Amino acid sequence: MTRRSSSPRHSVDISEEAGVRRLHFGSDWVQGAMRIARPWSLELSYTREMMAGLLLRDGADWPRRALLIGLGAGSLAKFLYRYRPACRITVVEINPQVEYVARQYFKLPDDPRRLDVRIGCGADFLLGGNDPYDYILVDGFDADGKPGPLDTLPVYLACRARLSDGGLFCANLLGRSRGYGASVRRIDEAFAGAVAVFPSCDSGNTIAFASGSQPVDIPLELLRQRASALKKETGLDLGPTIGRLQLAHPLPDSRLRIGQIPA
């Protein structure tokens, strides 16, 4: 695979309207957003769904180690930083301008002990190390909305290898793009079928979850209970996500399963 170490040349722009600040990479396409009155909340629907992994594993202290590929406006990093204080977060961002903008305009905390931002190619980082993570979230796109080397089988295999025993992988895919189906097939191959693809958001983003060595097997009722507790704790309402998931997929025995349960 071709390694990529140079920073992108596109501009990093900010717009603001109706109390919402948005991040752009030289186009109208929104790369991140923050409601100024609620800087810790998840403004974009796809970022909310990427936090659905918090419902799939038990315990308020999960995850303990998270890896985020792509910083954007810092929404995912800020949410985990605020509501999972035991979590150590590593973010890999290829463009140093994005880190500067996230700190100056989107209230990204400056706390390297808990939130370590590294400038570099996310694909290189995944392929070049072996530290395990409980939660790996891949949300990296260029100015044209393309994930580049992140959307390849070797990188998805590296993600699986970097998961801890109870780890989960999560990727933001553009469900209305031409390459969406091929992306899902690559993830499915890398994770040996232990994949659940959530229904597309209104924005067209589709969130895929995959499990490593420990499958997910959880009753819908327990999912709803955890969603209710998470909403009470953080304000994040994932109830609609569960409803859409139930409508879009057959869930035998009213359980969400990702991966095979050992006999």
User: Which residues are catalytic, by number?
Assistant: 139
Amino acid code (one letter) for 18:
A
The set of residues, in sequence order, having a beta carbon less than 8 Å from that of 140 and lying 6+ positions away, is: 69, 70, 94, 122, 147, 148, 150
Q: Are 84 and 63 in contact (CB under 8 A)?
A: yes
DSSP 103-118: HHHS-----TTTEEEE
Distance CA 259, CA 146 (A): 28
3-state class (DSSP) for residue 126: helix
Distance CA 185, CA 141 (A): 19
Q: In the beta sheet, which residues pair with residue 208?
A: 171, 197
* Cis ω for the linkage preceding 250 (within 30 of 0): no
For the record, the structure tokens of 249 come out as 């997929």
Residue 78 CB neighbour total at 10 angstroms? 22
